[in-house]
Structure 1
């Protein structure tokens, strides 16, 4: 019996050993796959893109714009049985727009909060047609030829799509009846100069700047007008190419340090790039590099910031291209001298189109807010989800830009695609109905592609039911049907499981929501910079009140810095409750002394008693306490609540 038991024990031990060995081997293979940086892909020749030979007089749907968002919208509608005209008005030879002609080949991805440690594949939000496209490219960055060809093959596979490139102009046909407006198609001048009137039951505006919606009469804001700065918008970028990046050179990037890293197709970091001295410092600068690999030993560099450009003005756009083309070789030479890993690379040209981050923000049935993103808010009509950080790039040479918040997962309502005042029109991509702060996250292309898929299915559903998009947006039953169809067609509209961020549990969370909405604070890459329990400073509070004044100028007409008179080194001086009240009162134009300001604000009802009760030390306010007090003032004086 003992001998039999020994044999069984030995067999079990061997089995356990084999299982452990197999598990170890599988783990090692997974590690090798995750850390493999070799790129054996060959560069594809670009497939020639042909326009349709004969336009139909009318289509079920016209999609304006051949950026990724428009391509996905056309694919989605066509797969749902609609006849679609996909039309381009930017003199392009290939599909993909910003990705393939603006050379933005590094993706700002919407990662799911749920990531498997047992897989070498990233898990993304939304999936759907974006995932279908992503699975055919190289990785987190891609070769622009590959991306363009995949887009074109996907379009060619849909017989319901007519593609029309290089039109000279396209303008909306709008019928007006009283105050009601309805888009019924586009007036198009083809590349050959032939004028065509093309009818459509619906139109999706997927142009980068919302050109069709603007021309149709949809109201919109420009840049940061919604927070009092209509002349401020994020810098534009001219991507440039470096050649001579062999596998050996690519792998050497991992030895740089300072946070620089690589995977198979992307590199990031190179923080010394920020020390570059521009030849034209008021107009152009650079940040740390985003590097996207191509399949021909070249890389594309997204780093240049060009300031004071109006992307809606062709002459200004041309100026930006010239400024960037002059600076790119100088930046290359700096990088060669700064990094030994780059000493043998060569400048190899600039992108044909600018990377424009921000222009028009349409006014829709719902406007996505900063609160929505910070709160990781879901919506009953969510047709896509975002998780990319709110990345506000520099607006001028002095500004440094900021990561406002790093959300986990927030919803994008269908109502944000439905513009005000014009029926049978949807807007997808960065020009949709987003406030300028959440736009810093919602503008990314993968999320725009998800909105495009939703818009295509919505066009089919609205046609079936004889509803306008506005009517559809107000029907919970119809939206439920839309979400169901999107799920059936490969989109993932589930809410991921994730731990609530610590800032959401803080007692001054509501104050934080107001502060973020007015750009009084930012969280950084990991929300570490909110520092709600850190001490607030008197000098910084005056800066905050200046921002409050900018956003609410009709209510705050005083000079917040006048409240600092008589204080020594206010930048190092803890903010007291009396000083906060005095600074707010002075900015509001209320005549008070520093000693009487608090009582005056209490008497006016601007400060809530329950907020004051939360203050631990009136002589040393924290950031969180300050945010809550400012929230009270704006709510009870201005009448605006950020929630």
Structure 2
């Protein structure tokens, strides 16, 4: 019996209404009949970095082993990608995700957070849930709390807070390979208008090569572009960098929101500790030569930088942005993501080490009998694929990128990436997944996180039906999990399946 009886009980508590969190709820409902689910959302909007953070550009990479291309990820990602395209309206996507939660009959508590957990016999027994408030740009917690009991807990958050409160062994940022515990650069997405699309499409550099890559998504007829690295040494950008030494402007990634307005991913913020907001600012530590920013402080300073005239001048240094300016909301403030786009926070690492390491993603094979990931095949829950991309840890300095070779093939994503021996009833499909920092360069993008989310939801279903903790699955339960993922969740577990889909007519890939 728990030391503190719960005020309310659920079968499953999902922490984080992120895309992997909602994928977990969706696959749980598909694979099980009627479990009660609570979704604790520490953000005010659903969708995590993909909606609240306004990162409306699915980072995808098609795999072409036989000359025909297809995306390796299935499940929730494939559903959302095919219905809304690679570029999507964040408001419409958020509405879609809310409908997913409604269909799953999940109880959702937005702008609430977990402040404490109770551990009984190594398992998470209950969690204390409180409402959040925001005043003067800083997050505070309400005083009244509710104790919630559950059989299975899922940390699908970007902060890894539930895993941290449960005393899961974690590494921070690049601490497992780099000189310190810095996390990848964060971004604040900005909605801009008056972008000259013709100039974007036709701009060339001094050698006559295109400045940008461009495409028009066939699903929603939205425009996307990327590039512009030739401009990052322009005088106006140098002036901005000198004025804001913790920030930078990188080459553009941009996707159309609506009516010629584009969300741009260019403004980088360095040395942000995404684990914390103002409530735990006292925990920040970076050594004598650096003081990280918490999420609240970084967000407010980024908004202030966007309001500075030097930001507009720097923005207009990019071809096609000569008249561009941030879109203003009804209050006259620039429209930006309501949350930072975080790329990294923590990585679970128990006595077994990481489930996915650099060697697995760098040397992934074309099938189950080749490549460094062949040892992950038996417990695979899906496929992950992207470039080994990290956007840096500091504006300058050695060791910023880790010098990794791009992966040629998708990696088998193993079930072990979701489980923690120390907390056997916890699943971690969010940023706290048991993935090394360098392997995270590939797996961190949303299509791959949705694969983890689908796996966590189906695993919760198997755990409930089998009255077993997720970390205690035997071979038969792994087989059952894989069957449910294929049959109930439309997951892709085999590279052969990707080839077969590539050779068939595709609605949109």
Question: Which residue, out of 251, 269, 286, partners 2:249?
Answer: 286
Cα distance in 2 for partners of 1:286, 1:429 equals 27
| CA apart distance, 1:396 | 1.1
| CA apart distance, 1:173 | 2.7
1:184-214: CA deviations, max 9, x gaps? 2322124675422221111111111211111
Q: Please state if 1:195 is matched with 2:152.
A: no
Give 5+ residue unaligned stretches, structure 2.
1-5, 133-141, 205-209, 217-222, 279-292, 328-333, 365-372, 500-509
Q: How does 1:396-475 map to 2 (within 5 A)?
A: 396-399=394-397, 401=401, 404-407=404-407, 408-472=409-473, 475=474
On the 8 A contact 1:241/1:300 being kept in 2, the answer is yes
- Residue equivalent to 1:478: 477
Q: Please state if 1:321 is matched with 2:299.
A: yes
- Residue equivalent to 2:311: 331
| CA apart distance, 1:114 | 5.3
Q: Please state if 1:146 is matched with 2:147.
A: no
Q: How does 1:234-383 map to 2 (within 5 A)?
A: 234-245=184-195, 249-257=196-204, 258-264=210-216, 265-275=223-233, 276-277=237-238, 278-280=241-243, 282-315=245-278, 316=293, 317-329=295-307, 330-339=310-319, 341-348=320-327, 349=334, 350-364=336-350, 365=352, 366-376=354-364, 377-378=373-374, 379=376, 380-383=378-381
1:578-621: CA deviations, max 9, x gaps? xxxxxxxxxxxxxxxxxxxxxxxxxxxxxxxxxxxxxxxxxxxx
| CA apart distance, 1:458 | 0.8
Question: Which residue, out of 157, 174, 188, partners 1:224?
Answer: 174
Q: How does 1:526-565 map to 2 (within 5 A)?
A: none
Cα distance in 2 for partners of 1:96, 1:174 equals 29
Cα distance in 2 for partners of 1:384, 1:171 equals 32
Q: Which has the higher strand share?
A: 2
Closer/same/farther in 2, CA of residues 89 and 381 from structure 1, 3 Å limit:
same
| CA apart distance, 1:326 | 3.3
Give 5+ residue unaligned stretches, structure 1.
1-54, 500-643
| CA apart distance, 1:234 | 1.3
1:244-273: CA deviations, max 9, x gaps? 24xxx3243110133412112311011233
Cα distance in 1 for partners of 2:423, 2:180 equals 24
State the secondary structure of the residue aligned to 1:201. Answer: strand
- Residue equivalent to 2:117: 172
| CA apart distance, 1:57 | 2.3
Cα distance in 1 for partners of 2:89, 2:403 equals 28
Closer/same/farther in 2, CA of residues 498 and 465 from structure 1, 3 Å limit:
closer
1:535-554: CA deviations, max 9, x gaps? xxxxxxxxxxxxxxxxxxxx
On the 8 A contact 1:112/1:496 being kept in 2, the answer is no
On the 8 A contact 2:123/2:425 being kept in 1, the answer is yes
1:92-128: CA deviations, max 9, x gaps? 0x311211111111111253335886xxxx7322311
On the 8 A contact 1:223/1:234 being kept in 2, the answer is yes
1:331-388: CA deviations, max 9, x gaps? 332232442x222221222322111111111114543111111120132101121110
State the secondary structure of the residue aligned to 1:478. Answer: helix
Cα distance in 2 for partners of 1:56, 1:453 equals 29
- Residue equivalent to 1:561: none
- Residue equivalent to 2:384: 386
State the secondary structure of the residue aligned to 1:134. Answer: helix
| CA apart distance, 1:415 | 0.8
On the 8 A contact 1:220/1:361 being kept in 2, the answer is yes
Matched residue count: 428
Cα distance in 1 for partners of 2:498, 2:382 equals 17
Closer/same/farther in 2, CA of residues 484 and 190 from structure 1, 3 Å limit:
same
Cα distance in 2 for partners of 1:306, 1:231 equals 16
Compute the TM-score of the two structures, normalised by the length of structure 1.
Answer: 0.63
| CA apart distance, 1:294 | 0.4
Q: Please state if 1:72 is matched with 2:60.
A: no
- Residue equivalent to 2:125: 184
Cα distance in 1 for partners of 2:242, 2:110 equals 38
State the secondary structure of the residue aligned to 2:165. Answer: helix
| CA apart distance, 1:409 | 0.9
State the secondary structure of the residue aligned to 1:491. Answer: coil
Closer/same/farther in 2, CA of residues 135 and 393 from structure 1, 3 Å limit:
same
State the secondary structure of the residue aligned to 2:267. Answer: strand
Cα distance in 2 for partners of 1:113, 1:184 equals 46
Compute the TM-score of the two structures, normalised by the length of structure 2.
Answer: 0.79
| CA apart distance, 1:402 | 6.2
On the 8 A contact 1:390/1:403 being kept in 2, the answer is no
- Which of 1 and 2 has higher RCO (CA within 8 Å, sep 6+)? 2
Q: Which has the higher helix share?
A: 1
State the secondary structure of the residue aligned to 1:254. Answer: helix
- Residue equivalent to 1:6: none
1:416-439: CA deviations, max 9, x gaps? 110231121100122201111111
Closer/same/farther in 2, CA of residues 476 and 169 from structure 1, 3 Å limit:
closer
On the 8 A contact 2:114/2:127 being kept in 1, the answer is no
1:551-580: CA deviations, max 9, x gaps? xxxxxxxxxxxxxxxxxxxxxxxxxxxxxx
Q: Which has the larger radius of gyration?
A: 1
